[in-house]
Structure 1
């Protein structure tokens, strides 16, 4: 079964039918450490910045995540609709200019092998 604390945290991201959701308490859950882990696991370095893969979420949940990034961290982002075999899926885009705000928040928690995702060498 694993660690109960991790299991309980994972359950917050599922609805009654087992679909992925963003919990209402995401503002408090998306700490700098959580954000760094999200980037390492589902971040995609792009020449124009960083994309966060949110393909499994509904657009309203992606907007909720974007609002947390804006309100809690002052990071402005946009949505990119990725074409997939099952249709268009939303991804969060953080432009290169916004990485200057993001890097100090997450860099202490990102392992060296993943620093390329936040383009640390650009600063």
Structure 2
């Protein structure tokens, strides 16, 4: 009897997550010149209005772009914790941190920061 109850609870949880998935879409990101998307698991969720199960969308490895020898990396920290924030960092392929560009709870702010990344494959412009 106990085993059947757990199975029913598991089925209900899976059905609820499937319903969330139907309403939750990947965020639209404008890819700046000189960058290419490597992975995209950044979802359009509001951390201040998170529903049960949606915390799974707030994970460390959400989005990466590459430009030359540089990687722009987006993750949610702490992992699966709705009280956390997205972080955008740029690092070299060897893992050396180049810069931390944004820490925010607002998806729009993060998407704007991604859209305005400089092209690391071109030499810097000299005024």
Task: Establish whether TM, by shorter chain, passes 0.5.
Answer: no
- How does the TM-score come out when normalised to structure 1? 0.29
User: Which one has the bigger strand percentage?
Assistant: 2
Length-normalised TM-score, structure 2: 0.28
The answer to which structure has the higher helix fraction is: 1
Higher RCO (CA < 8 A, seq sep 6+): 1
Q: Who wins on radius of gyration, i.e. which is larger?
A: 2
